[in-house]
Each structure stands twice: as structure tokens, then as C-alpha cells.
Amino acid sequence: MSADPVIRPQNCSLVRTLIADWAKTKGKPFPYLQVGEHLAQCPACLSWATAIAYQPTDHYVRALRLRLSWVISILGQSVLRAWSNNQDLKFDLVRAQDPAGVRDRVGRRLSQCESFNPEMKEQVSQIRELMPDLATGAPPGGLEPYALARYFLETALAMAPQSEQRLKLLDQLGIVEFTRAVGEQRAGSKEKADRHFQQAKERYQQVLAADVGDGTQARELKVGEKIDRVSARLSLAQVEYVQGDHSPAALQKAIEHCIGAQRLVSELGLAEEEFTRIQSNLLICYLRLFLDHDQTEGYAQAQRLARETCAEPDVARVFLKRWVADGEDPELAQLLSSPRARDLSDYLRAEAQRVLRAEAVAAS
């Protein structure tokens, strides 16, 4: 995306058109990145997107025959995807509307809220940064993706708190907080980073603790809800791993969450071969305990996990192809390239070659 936003005509409806095209074609992937990046460039589409939550009679949304909360959640995921692709992204919400009107309307509200409590005062400070300069009228640099993504996802959750997509929305809000935490961590703001890491954990814990209806048993959960719960457990592992900067304590916590995710897969009756990311993450943690902290037990656990994984044909086929042969996780590939892990690396590569040869024979 170019550094200078392209100002679109005020009647631009590209985002609505993309949503409509997606809704008409079953199974078509939604263009999250395209929508997110366009919202950062087009005041007209951004204005429409932020307005539909309080204008639920929008005829375009009705014509799509999609629930409004679903459309808003799609917009939130689009912003999140674009943000992940470009950390410097800004969304000029003020320019998308009437700067003078926004300044006056928000200014009145801020004067009422500023002294309410410390948390509100902090929020007011953040909002003031989004307003045009009072002296010059110059617009701010733009709305941070964090704020806009939270706006969309929290609005969608509030509109349909018991909907089928509730767990997915909570998971996405966890990703928003985690992404912000990583940014603060890289900027050296540990206190802010820890606060967002904690908020991410709370979102993921909500997914794990969420009720799905009176008397509903785990076996009655829909497949998507089961996957969301496993994903939340893996996300908790990721938070501990990143927040703790690969310390032994952080690695042990991450391992516990990964094992918990593995247990969930079994309890929920999911196919283990669909979740080989768990084995990949466990190997990374075990290898870091050994390579970074000289804990030989970590290497023994990594070897044991490798043997157990390769003993399960369906799981081994997927795991070895994705994480060993194709090297989908660069971090795991780097750890396995260490001379100290050569025995394990040689074993996994030999097993991967065996699986690939068997597939080639079966296909011939």
C-alpha cells in the first residue's frame, strides 16, 4: 500500500460490494486484507463502516441478508488482518466525517467524562489525540488499528452476545490485545505490554469458560466452537511464550497450555491430525529449554514427543510434511538446525522422507 492514501469519491461503495460478492458465493474466502487496507485509504467506506452499528436500518446490509453483527465482525477482522500486514497503518476516522462536527460533538462528551474516574480519564486522553488540533484545525495522524478493530469486534459482540460467533469474536479480541501487547513490548513499554497481555489472556479464558446453553455437553458443541476452544488454549500458550521472553517459567506455562490443548482435542472428539500445530509448539518449547537453558530433560521430552507423534500414522503424515519437510514454522526449523539437536533432526527428517516416499508410491 502506498504511503499517501488515495482519496476516494464520497460515493465509493467498494467495501459493501466486496461483502455482497462474498455473501453471494458459498465457500468463497473473504478478502479481509483488501477490505482492511481499503478502509485505511477511503474516507467514504470508513465512514459507512463505522456508522452502520448505530444505523441498523442500513438498506445495503438488509439487502445482503446477513446479520448486522456478522458484517461488523467481518470489518473488525479486516482491520486486524491489515494491521498485522502493516504495523504503521492508520485509519483517518475524522477525515471520513465532518472534522468540525466531530470536534464539537466529542468535545462536549469529553468535558462530561474526563473527571469520572482514572480509567475514563485515560480513555479521554486517547480520544483527544484523535481530534483535530483546536488551534489549527489540522487533522490527527489517524486512528490506530487497535482502537478501530476493538470498536468493530466489541460492537458485534454486544449486538449478538449469545450468537454462534461469540467465541470467535472473543478470540479475535484476544488477538487484538496480543498484537497491541507485542507492539508495546517491541517499543520497550513493558508496563503497557503486560496490561495488554493480561487483557488477551482474559479474552482467551472467556472462550474456554463460555457457556454454550443450558445443559449443553461438550459432545453437542458445534465443530467451530470446539476449534475455538482449542485455539484459545494454544493462544494462551503463545501469550505466555512471548510475554515471558522464552524464560524457563514462561516455557513451562506454554507447555502446560499446549498439553491442555492436546487434551481438549481428545475430549472434544476432534481429529488430532488437524492440530499438529500443538506438537510443533511443544517441540519449540522443549528445544528452547535444552538449547537456551541447558535443561537436558527438555531434549529428552522433545525426543519422546517425536517418537510418539511418528507412531500415529495420520498425525505423523501431516506433522512431518508441514513442520519438517515443508518447514512451515521458521523458528522450529532454526532450532532443529542446531548441532546440539542433530540426533532429533536426523530422526525427523528420515521419518519425513519415509512418509513422502510412501505417498509417492501410493499416488503412482
Q: Where are the domains of the chain?
A: 164-209+222-270
The topology under which CATH files domain 164-209+222-270 is 1.25.40
Question: At which residue does the C-alpha cell 466489541 appear?
Answer: 154
CA distance 271 to 262: 11
CB 166 within 8 A of CB 160: yes
State pLDDT tens for residues 253-297: 999 999 999 999 999 999 999 999 999 999 999 999 999 999 999
CA distance 36 to 86: 10
- Residue 38: CB partners within 8 Å, gap ≥ 6? 14, 15, 45
Does 39 have pLDDT greater than 60?
Answer: yes
The confidence band for 142, taking pLDDT boundaries of 50, 70 and 90, is: low
* Vertex 353: Cα angle to 351 and 356 (nearest 5): 110
CA distance 104 to 120: 19
Question: At which residue does the C-alpha cell 483517518 appear?
Answer: 92
Phi-psi sector, 65: left (phi>0), alpha (psi -120 to 50), beta:
left
What mean pLDDT is predicted for residues 83-98? 72
What mean pLDDT is predicted for residues 57-68? 61
The confidence band for 115, taking pLDDT boundaries of 50, 70 and 90, is: low
User: Which residues on neighbouring strands pair with residue 91, listed in sequence order?
Assistant: 143
